[in-house]
Structure 1
Amino acid sequence: MAVDDERLDRAFMALADPVRRAMIARLSRGEATVNELAEPFPITKQAVSRHIQVLEAAGLITRSRDGQRRPCHLNPAALEDLTSWIDDYRLAAERRFRRIDAILETVKEQQK
């Protein structure tokens, strides 16, 4: 599945920040509230809320309503899109390396 450049840009920019990466790591273990996400960081709740907004805008997380709670959830499909995009380039590089290895092996055999 092709991912458009704008979505990729938003996701990678969101993941460029260590606080947001830590939030994604925390959400990979299950839903969390803003307060729970804020716990390990020496920043204001307003700053945490801004980080959450960036992650939401990038499509990496979603929020739901559970009574008074508004838990955040990881969007695994968005991470899968990023992984797929990266894998395309990784596989292409691996194919090139295998071709180089085959050429080097042929040269090595010819020198014997």
Structure 2
Amino acid sequence: MGPQTLFFNRNSFLPFLMMNEIQAAEKLQQFAVDKELPFRETALFGVKCPYCGKSDRIRTLEHPEELKDRFTAEEMKRYSALWMTVAPCGEFLGICKFCLNIIKLLENRRRAEAL
């Protein structure tokens, strides 16, 4: 069988899986800001933002599984695809509520790493 041409529906979320981690992080950041994520307001005190240095503004983003009932199916597909692009191995993700950058949370959410 020879090469096949792939056609994508403009509404398909498959292209999210093909973007690089930085592009996905930017889109995830915009999604989080637009949807006012995270819904939990618990700060991870002592975890320092690798971008701005604040240590009292880091919040854990909810895993897509935790948000099933909060968003439409389309929004969930988008959030899940972006999450899996940025954190494919099940890492925790967070957001600094000061500079709004998405970060990886390591060591059981005791340390933050820039993307």
- TM-score w.r.t. the length of structure 1 is 0.35
TM-score by length of structure 2 reads: 0.34
Bigger radius of gyration, 1 or 2? 1
From the two aligned structures, give the one with the greater helix fraction. Answer: 1
* Highest RCO, 1 vs 2 (Cα 8 Å, sep ≥ 6): 2
